[in-house]
Structure 1
């Protein structure tokens, strides 16, 4: 066994070297021996759960564009992952309350090609569907990277891995599959209007194709526009997208996001007597939005939309959808998260319960569910602490790479992770050597212990807050001459500035901490297990907000190393 572990570590280091890291002995690699994340948002302290309640969002942090499906008593949920690696996190539940991550759908290089993607490229809006006609699960998505385009993968057991992707021959984004009870299948997606017919900026259409299940392809020539512009093109609605098709009581319902992914985001619905249309919009659209309320409302939840519906075995309905929780300066550092609401579909159209009033942090649990948040392997929500001593043989699924497979730069120790530094640094739009954990609260602390002695000014390891390759903070240990320095750098729009640096004696280890209270972030360290020492004062988290940085992701907290450091004390 020891020989096997040694060989695996050696192969991992060799793989990292092939991607641009220096040849370095394992003992000289930066070692992180503990990571602790603690969330402490006021809304959860002020609103403790009562019996029969659970918190929404059900997945906090950057888990956007949720899609959900059910087979029997088993629910499966997936999210967009953009340039994060592995791709498309997948979760399992039997009660819609307790969710356990069972892996990633795109978990090997043959499925995911994001090595040169910007952070908000890569994987967009995955859709997961169970087809009872052939007892198969499908995940279809747009991979805006690596010449992949729209792809589909499938499996008969989501916990046991997915097929290599099949590239589908159509343009556009946000594809979704629908399997009818007669065995026929259809694919719907967002696309540009036909050339020469665009009426305004943001004018999009929803297209439908017949889908050949046997050969996994769209049927050539079967495409048709089923929605032009949105619910009412005379009002110039923007970005009709994220379509999902459902069948209920013999009729067909097309549900879409509309209004863009910002503060005008909403969910709308159409109905038809046939799967191919024509589709007529409901008179009470939108059926979900937060756009009509004052901007500075307390405990604000906003940008809601991009929803998907699922029915329970007893005929109830629930919806998952994305939303954001801005901080006190209305900045969105935690990104788009996965929320849930019960849905009343006793009438013609589904009604999101309280989906058109300011959303609350708590909802009622489905009948028979028991909240096990953070226990027995289930994802925590509300306020919680996550501690990883890296004692397990495998890394927790919540740790992700950026454009890079963890196996390419991580060497797993008994109670540590060592990072084999790549030459690419945090500002590169290429694979970097960093393990990332999603920021999940406005108020949090994240701490780690680092054992490392850099050899030169090109070497750096530390903790980062990463919104993108062009917007980030780095707190790291590096070297200048014969001396060691702790440095703090801010990068905004790709331009970097050293906020502070300080000569230190790192000793055997250094503890690093980042803390936030809304927009106010602080970075600290201690080299002798005494009290933390702040470096750089209080800095703004503005560059970690989607509002400022753009894109579609939330802020990530990273354990990071590079052999191409350009931060100079």
Structure 2
């Protein structure tokens, strides 16, 4: 369950989608929840999103109004493959779907190199069953299950051209009724090569006698939403573009899911690629005309919807919330690591403790296989960027047995930077700014260094609306000094940039029993200027 921060650490949320008078603004989630899908059970809505190579994987969020969302669980802790014992950037769990069928919630997802997986639960708040390997294959992605009125089960999916040399096609397979395996290799039901290139992320629905496939096409940054419909599940399918950027500032708009309310309203949730800030989540009203959905609002009257920036909240009979629950800041007062934190590889309990010094997070140093290169280190503890501009601050104390122990605050992406705290000579400490790149094998480069007299410091990164990052530090929590030049955050492989902490032994030998303690992590609206 989500928990409340202690009073002294409470603060304004970085992003608030509630604008009063029963209205909301987009995005409803200014965080990197890529490839969202959604399902409703009664008054509750549940969302699943991609996690790629971050662990635990496949985040599940809950809402009662479609606007304010709370992260409640993850589908799995680890993936059972050796490749994920170290960072596997760009791999991992892609594009899940979530459905409710016969009293259970079902999540399907693919890893592009290992195949299609499934897990289910009766209660998403309480955890998920062990993964079932539905199909061992390479290059099958974006799976979505469908149980028809006659009880027959199907699974539709797309292809990853990078793995299998096929793209722009959607394939439909028969599936066992219990959802654990496929019964055939499927049949191509739509080829979008000419008119809907790179069509992917299919979601299969049935409404008023039609089978509908909702699927984005045209690419993540500049694509559109396509809807296909047919009276027969294997087609042939008619196609129609129902949502595009038009004259708005919302590029994409990309992959998502559709839901109907008891009130008769329809809504579509999708992502927008915002570079370093990730694939943020928007909510669009949906109207139906002549058996076709129109998403957003047809502003220029061309018959295609455009994304809305503001709208009246869905009629869910939920309380009109004024402020979302903060799931970025953490005082580490819980028995378990908060859900917003993810590791860069299959996690190990030996990496951290919440019991060694209650009320603080202890990160243990681990020897780096690649000396000091953060992108190759599995025990980085990261979370998503919190909004369009924010400040992240940690209080860190270092217990280092040698000068090779380094702990600090990092911003990760294809290019990354960290503010690194380590032991110096004569009982002193030092702070350095290091930069690196995921795609090379070079050790991270130190660009600046400052001496520090104390073993406890406050480290801060301020992220602007342009994703420019400025590191600073303090020894008293009040006066911060900027360190190094501004750093431009960039996306990771299929993800936004991330911020978090680490403790690592950058030496080839020497003691490995060092650690750092983190008293708290606070993400709040951007603090401008440094004293």
Superposition TM-score tier, normalisation by shorter sequence: 0.7 to 0.9
3-state secondary structure, aligned to 2:484: strand
3-state secondary structure, aligned to 1:391: coil
- Residue in structure 2 matching 1:524, options 469, 472, 477: 472
- Residue in structure 2 matching 1:310, options 259, 263, 274: 259
1:225 aligns with 2:193: no
**Deviation of 1:564 (Å):** 2.0
- Residue in structure 2 matching 1:476, options 420, 427, 436: 420
Q: CA RMSD in A?
A: 2.9
1:502 maps to which residue? 450
1:434 maps to which residue? 380
1:410 aligns with 2:342: no
2:511 maps to which residue? none
1:445 maps to which residue? 391
- 1:271, 1:152 → 2: CA distance? 26
1:239 maps to which residue? 198
TM-score, normalised by the number of residues in structure 1 = 0.78
Aligned pairs (5 A) from 1:42-53: 49-53=19-23
- Residue in structure 1 matching 2:73, options 97, 103, 110: 103
**Deviation of 1:214 (Å):** 3.1
- 1:250, 1:203 → 2: CA distance? 29
Question: Which digits, 9 at most, give the CA deviation of each residue in 1:363-410, with x for residues without a partner?
Answer: 2111233333556xx457xxxxx5422222222211111114263411
- 1:225, 1:520 → 2: CA distance? 45
2:211 maps to which residue? 252
1:57 aligns with 2:6: no
- 1:112, 1:87 → 2: CA distance? 16
- 1:454, 1:35 → 2: CA distance? 28
- 1:192, 1:365 → 2: CA distance? 36
1:70 maps to which residue? 40
- 1:565, 1:489 → 2: CA distance? 16
**Deviation of 1:489 (Å):** 1.0
- 1:95, 1:556 → 2: CA distance? 27
Structure 2 stretches lacking a partner, 5+ long: 1-7, 299-303, 509-531
Structure 1 stretches lacking a partner, 5+ long: 1-33, 326-331, 381-385
2:158 maps to which residue? 190
2:227 maps to which residue? 269
3-state secondary structure, aligned to 1:388: coil
Q: CA separation of 1:480/1:36 partners in 2, compared to 1, >3 Å: closer, same or farther?
A: farther
1:458 aligns with 2:384: no
- 1:387, 1:258 → 2: CA distance? 36
2:365 maps to which residue? 421
**Deviation of 1:136 (Å):** 2.3
**Deviation of 1:274 (Å):** 1.2
**Deviation of 1:111 (Å):** 9.5
Q: CA separation of 1:358/1:271 partners in 2, compared to 1, >3 Å: closer, same or farther?
A: closer
Aligned pairs (5 A) from 1:196-215: 203-214=167-178
Q: CA separation of 1:426/1:439 partners in 2, compared to 1, >3 Å: closer, same or farther?
A: farther
**Deviation of 1:209 (Å):** 0.6
Q: CA separation of 1:324/1:565 partners in 2, compared to 1, >3 Å: closer, same or farther?
A: farther
3-state secondary structure, aligned to 1:524: strand
Tell me, yes or no, if the aligned pair for 1:400 and 1:406 is still in contact at 8 Å: no
Question: Which digits, 9 at most, give the CA deviation of each residue in 1:489-540, with x for residues without a partner?
Answer: 1113435332211111124x10111012224321111124451111113x13
2:116 maps to which residue? 150
**Deviation of 1:340 (Å):** 1.1
1:341 aligns with 2:245: no
Tell me, yes or no, if the aligned pair for 2:417 and 2:487 is still in contact at 8 Å: no
- Residue in structure 2 matching 1:489, options 425, 434, 439: 434
Aligned pairs (5 A) from 1:287-436: 287-290=242-245, 292-293=246-247, 300-325=249-274, 332-354=275-297, 359-367=307-315, 368-372=317-321, 374=323, 378=325, 386-405=328-347, 407-412=349-354, 413-424=357-368, 427=373, 432-436=378-382
Tell me, yes or no, if the aligned pair for 2:284 and 2:308 is still in contact at 8 Å: no
**Deviation of 1:238 (Å):** 2.5
1:31 maps to which residue? none
Tell me, yes or no, if the aligned pair for 1:90 and 1:103 is still in contact at 8 Å: yes
Deviates further, 172-181 or 48-57:
48-57
1:127 maps to which residue? 97
Q: CA separation of 1:554/1:373 partners in 2, compared to 1, >3 Å: closer, same or farther?
A: farther
3-state secondary structure, aligned to 2:125: helix
2:58 maps to which residue? 88
TM-score, normalised by the number of residues in structure 2 = 0.83
- 1:402, 1:334 → 2: CA distance? 18
- 2:39, 2:348 → 1: CA distance? 29
